[in-house]
Chain A
Amino acid sequence: MLSTQAIENIKKAIAKYPRKKSASMDALMIAQKECGHLTEDILLEIAHLLEMPPVQLNQVAAFYTMYNKRPVGKYHIQVCTNISCSLLGSEHIFQFFSKMLGIKKGETTSDKKFTLSEVECLGSCGTAPMMQINDDYYENLTEAKIEEILKTLK
């Protein structure tokens, strides 16, 4: 169940658009900020608020990698593996993370601290290879840099 504050925020988002369902992405983000990840019940609740078929909202949520469909750890590491990053070795970066944290794609460490995801283009191709941890970008990645970053994440 969403909090009254979240519902209030969604209603504000709805007011910005001519059609209710145009606020899908805003609403999903508001819900995710509150609940950490999106569940079946939350999607149904939002679809009801937006007066749209639930499956269409599910389509939006499923299309974007930024919406979590499963619980994530304290730090959500999202490594871009799209074309520019992959040309500059994102695969290697990803493997390095995997080795460091001992988890595979989509998994979370047992202490619930890190989740490792592969995501689509984050629009920072000029600084590839890059990743996003929670809301922050980390660019021009190297193994050394990653080790440094991980040290700072407590």
Chain B
Amino acid sequence: MATVKINGKEITTEDGTLILDAARQAGFEIPTFCYQARLSRLGSCRMCLVEIGGQKKLQPSCITPVLHGMEVFTENETVKSARSSMLEFLLANHPLDCPTCDKGGECELQDFVFKSGPRRSPFSEWKRRFHEKDEILSPIIVKNHNRCIHCERCARICDEVVGVSALGGIGRGAKTQETSFWNTTLDCDHCGNCIEVCPVGSFMSLPYRYKSRPWDLKEADTVCPYCATGCQITIGARNGEILRVRSKSATGINKETLCSRGRFGYHFMQSGKRLTKPMIKKGGKLIECSWDEALSAIKQRFGMGRKTAGIASARLTNEELFVFQKLVRDVFKTNNIDLDSRFANKWVTSAMVDICGFGEGGISIFDALKADTIFIIGSAISDENPITDYLIRTTASDKRKTLILAHPRRIKLNSSATISLKYKPANPGDVIKGIVNFIEKGKDKAEGDIDTAALRFKNASNITMFLGADILRLDNGVDVLKNIAVLKTLLKKAGKNINCLPLFDRCNQRGAINMGIHPLFLPGFKKTEEEGMDCGEILSAAKNGEIESLYVLGEDIVSMYPDAGFAKDAVSKVKFLVVQDTFLTETAKMADVVLPGATYAEKDGTFTNQEGRVQRVRKIISCVGDSKDDLSILDNIGGFGYKSAKDVFDDIKEEVPSYKDILFDALNNAGVLVNGQGAGVMSHESGVRSQRQEAIDDSEYPFQIITGNHLFHSGRLSQKAHVLVKLLAEPFVEISDEDAKELGLSDKEVVIVKSKEYEAALKLRMVKGSQKGVAFIPENFDSVSVNLFYKKGKGIPKVKIIKQ
């Protein structure tokens, strides 16, 4: 520990603390440009100069650690004049075009100059000028080099956090431009983090350009609706129109970073294709009707008991899902209720709940990442959960840590992994079995990657496993999870500390399971008296005419269910279909009654992310047209009398013990982790049944299909966000470069992907280092619905790829 005196105030901090951090702890603000807590230290902007007692020259506090007995001055005249001079130098080349700059009003340079800068400049020389017109670097970035102050935050965040290295300082001295390779259009993740960290108006958002001034925006902190990482976002709206999404520097687990979906995926809410009025089917056609007519039709015609069912999306809030399960169970009197996500069978979901210890409460991802060994399986994490990928990349830059990444595709995070394991999509269990085998047999000589990984496990003391949503999709997912459970037990016996976290692709998947959207358990994992049917079973029953009424809440099962043909056939046999959604989806087109719901910015509530962190979703704009928020629609049908999301949350607290201590009104940007009350209710030994479906190798169809979300898309929702569509408008097929070479195919060529039942023409993408015999197709596009390759009960589809 070191005790230092800052401006006369004594403070004791840990050795090695930066003077900057110590001063901030002591309550003194020091301006900075190049310093960013999560980035490497640069010490170039010289804004943070401080005087240290006994030293003649001022020192940059962002790279100087405290020493015991040090005396530091951050506010005296010498420091103030140095600060003012630094700003004077920055302004010597800064165009001062604040009136036409999008950053005006929230510009760090503007703020610091206003606070501590010079009031006049003696420079009479011409200012540096790179261009007259701003450059468009990508569909989301517009760049003005003239304003740049060379803090290099953009290039560092791109390299160190996002892991893309698309930006760099080209040139030298004052003439350096932070830009892309050869000034070409950026081929990057389009995450916009460079825009967010830019302290001036050098990197700007193209969709937000000249739309508003920051002080004219009404802002609300809420949670991103795309994946289950649970990033805090701040939505800015003006006159009821959403104009931008940003992330605040010290807020949430994401701390200023977002991915392209989170930052630019908001346009779907005001796409113009939203459902604005309830609709009812008359004479085989959907026609607009009044709420009264639609709701009374549901109340009269929706059945009761075994022949009814409800399927909900995990994009809805905890409160809505809780009321939905109440509606299905108490009013429709059935346990036939399930989630859409990945259409997992009920045994896989419950095994996942069990192995990730949902009953034991949430685990903060920061605690989980303290582990010395991190293992990820079953998730193309860089595409599915980009911000979790950033957090893991930053952690794994510590070379003492081991990152083992197991996935058939080569993804961005592979470049940070210590060991990369590959497997065929149908058999992630093989990797686990290999590791278990190595440890059980007490081997200590590694032959091959799996053994090396096993050796790392053996030598680890603190392990975190991330289990991806790919496993949920497998028919043999239960077996895979059982293997993981065996490994977990084995490692636990050896005295190692193990945490398991899920990686989900829907924002409230964990919350939905907590709320009892499951055929086997009620809210709080209490077992149902009678087993209900899961999504697959509901559809099979529907096909046989055994489901008469089906309520689909916010999900497009016809498009998304693996085996789309089967789903369409099944849904068409339902006598009374209610769809509550924001768009007229393929499923909604078949409905008898369509109810227009609300998007996440139009309602209050909570989401529970994959860690088990409950965070507030806040309303910022009113519902479009006559649409209503989903909670009031469900409440009306059920006649429960809930007035607000908070009312429902009070009930949730009673039914779900792990939410008991959470105060709805007190939920801030940090969220609250659910606690471990109600532990150990489910056990995978109890009744988990495996539906084994081995993928049989077929030489005629050598590729196994793996699907999932693309980095720029999520489900089918993002297709309605025009900026995301601009980033990637068409699906593609991704195979390893070895396979491509063998087949004589080249990158970007159009090829035919053919299974026994279905074929599609797709652009080819070659990736070096992916598993051979695996083809990835993103599931986000209507134009090539990857789900048509699937056949119910046949497991992972197998295809061949041929030249067009």
* Partner-B contacts on A (CB < 8 A): 40, 43-44, 53-56, 58-59, 62-63, 120
**CB-defined A-B contacts under 8 Å, sample of 25:** A40-B181, A40-B182, A43-B181, A43-B182, A44-B181, A53-B159, A53-B164, A53-B166, A54-B181, A54-B182, A55-B165, A55-B166, A55-B167, A55-B168, A56-B165, A58-B168, A58-B170, A58-B181, A58-B182, A59-B168, A59-B169, A59-B170, A62-B170, A62-B171, A62-B172
Most buried by B among A56, A62, A120: A62
Q: Which 3 A-B pairs have the closest CB atoms?
A: A53-B165, A55-B168, A55-B181
Q: How far is the CB of A61 from chain B (nearest CB, A)?
A: 9
Q: How far is the CB of B777 from chain A (nearest CB, A)?
A: 27
Report A-chain residues with C-beta under 8 Å of the C-beta of B382.
none
Report A-chain residues with C-beta under 8 Å of the C-beta of B658.
none
Q: Is B180 interfacial (CB-CB < 8 Å)?
A: yes
Report B-chain residues with C-beta under 8 Å of the C-beta of A59.
168-170
Could you tell me the dominant secondary structure of chain B's interface residues?
Answer: loop
Number of A-B contacts (CB under 8 A): 36
User: A65: nearest residue on chain B (CB-CB)?
Assistant: B172
User: How far apart sit A58 and B172, CA to CA, in the bound complex (Å)?
Assistant: 12
User: B188: nearest residue on chain A (CB-CB)?
Assistant: A55
Q: A53-B166, A55-B165 are in contact. Are A63 and B180 (CB under 8 A)?
A: no
Q: How far is the CB of B248 from chain A (nearest CB, A)?
A: 28
Most buried by B among A44, A54, A55, A120: A55
Report B-chain residues with C-beta under 8 Å of the C-beta of A54.
181-182
Q: How far is the CB of A9 from chain B (nearest CB, A)?
A: 24
User: A58: nearest residue on chain B (CB-CB)?
Assistant: B181
* Partner-A contacts on B (CB < 8 A): 159, 164-172, 180-182, 184
Report B-chain residues with C-beta under 8 Å of the C-beta of A56.
165, 168
User: How far apart sit A97 and B654, CA to CA, in the bound complex (Å)?
Assistant: 88
User: A64: nearest residue on chain B (CB-CB)?
Assistant: B172
Q: How far is the CB of B795 from chain A (nearest CB, A)?
A: 37
User: How far apart sit A109 and B170, CA to CA, in the bound complex (Å)?
Assistant: 27
Report B-chain residues with C-beta under 8 Å of the C-beta of A53.
159, 164-166, 168, 181
User: B155: nearest residue on chain A (CB-CB)?
Assistant: A55
Report B-chain residues with C-beta under 8 Å of the C-beta of A58.
168, 170, 181-182
Given contacts A54-B181, A54-B182, 9 further A-B contacts (CB under 8 A): A40-B181, A43-B181, A53-B159, A53-B165, A55-B170, A55-B180, A58-B170, A58-B182, A63-B172
User: How far apart sit A120 and B180, CA to CA, in the bound complex (Å)?
Assistant: 24
User: A53: nearest residue on chain B (CB-CB)?
Assistant: B165
Report A-chain residues with C-beta under 8 Å of the C-beta of B168.
53, 55-56, 58-59
Q: How far is the CB of B262 from chain A (nearest CB, A)?
A: 24
Are the C-beta atoms of A63 and B166 separated by less than 8 Å?
no
- Identify which of A40, A43, A44, A63 contacts B171 (C-beta below 8 A): A63
User: How far apart sit A41 and B168, CA to CA, in the bound complex (Å)?
Assistant: 18
Q: How far is the CB of A21 from chain B (nearest CB, A)?
A: 11
User: How far apart sit A40 and B182, CA to CA, in the bound complex (Å)?
Assistant: 7
Most buried by A among B159, B165, B181: B181
Report A-chain residues with C-beta under 8 Å of the C-beta of B184.
40
User: How far apart sit A62 and B182, CA to CA, in the bound complex (Å)?
Assistant: 10
Q: How far is the CB of B761 from chain A (nearest CB, A)?
A: 29
User: How far apart sit A40 and B181, CA to CA, in the bound complex (Å)?
Assistant: 9
User: How far apart sit A55 and B155, CA to CA, in the bound complex (Å)?
Assistant: 10
User: A59: nearest residue on chain B (CB-CB)?
Assistant: B168
User: How far apart sit A86 and B166, CA to CA, in the bound complex (Å)?
Assistant: 37
Report A-chain residues with C-beta under 8 Å of the C-beta of B166.
53, 55
User: How far apart sit A93 and B170, CA to CA, in the bound complex (Å)?
Assistant: 28
Report B-chain residues with C-beta under 8 Å of the C-beta of A43.
181-182
User: How far apart sit A63 and B177, CA to CA, in the bound complex (Å)?
Assistant: 11
Report A-chain residues with C-beta under 8 Å of the C-beta of B159.
53
Report A-chain residues with C-beta under 8 Å of the C-beta of B172.
62-63, 120
User: How far apart sit A39 and B639, CA to CA, in the bound complex (Å)?
Assistant: 71
Q: How far is the CB of B169 from chain A (nearest CB, A)?
A: 6
Q: How far is the CB of A13 from chain B (nearest CB, A)?
A: 22
User: How far apart sit A55 and B177, CA to CA, in the bound complex (Å)?
Assistant: 12
User: How far apart sit A11 and B254, CA to CA, in the bound complex (Å)?
Assistant: 41
Report B-chain residues with C-beta under 8 Å of the C-beta of A120.
172
User: How far apart sit A63 and B171, CA to CA, in the bound complex (Å)?
Assistant: 5
Report A-chain residues with C-beta under 8 Å of the C-beta of B170.
55, 58-59, 62
User: A56: nearest residue on chain B (CB-CB)?
Assistant: B168
User: How far apart sit A53 and B156, CA to CA, in the bound complex (Å)?
Assistant: 13
Report B-chain residues with C-beta under 8 Å of the C-beta of A63.
171-172
User: How far apart sit A120 and B175, CA to CA, in the bound complex (Å)?
Assistant: 14
Report A-chain residues with C-beta under 8 Å of the C-beta of B167.
55
User: B179: nearest residue on chain A (CB-CB)?
Assistant: A55
Report A-chain residues with C-beta under 8 Å of the C-beta of B181.
40, 43-44, 53-55, 58
User: How far apart sit A17 and B171, CA to CA, in the bound complex (Å)?
Assistant: 25
Report A-chain residues with C-beta under 8 Å of the C-beta of B164.
53
User: How far apart sit A40 and B169, CA to CA, in the bound complex (Å)?
Assistant: 16
User: How far apart sit A120 and B173, CA to CA, in the bound complex (Å)?
Assistant: 11
User: B159: nearest residue on chain A (CB-CB)?
Assistant: A53
User: How far apart sit A120 and B169, CA to CA, in the bound complex (Å)?
Assistant: 18
User: How far apart sit A44 and B182, CA to CA, in the bound complex (Å)?
Assistant: 10
Q: How far is the CB of A48 from chain B (nearest CB, A)?
A: 10
User: How far apart sit A38 and B170, CA to CA, in the bound complex (Å)?
Assistant: 14
Q: How far is the CB of A123 from chain B (nearest CB, A)?
A: 16
User: How far apart sit A54 and B169, CA to CA, in the bound complex (Å)?
Assistant: 12
User: How far apart sit A53 and B166, CA to CA, in the bound complex (Å)?
Assistant: 7
Report B-chain residues with C-beta under 8 Å of the C-beta of A62.
170-172
Q: How far is the CB of A60 from chain B (nearest CB, A)?
A: 9
User: How far apart sit A8 and B181, CA to CA, in the bound complex (Å)?
Assistant: 25
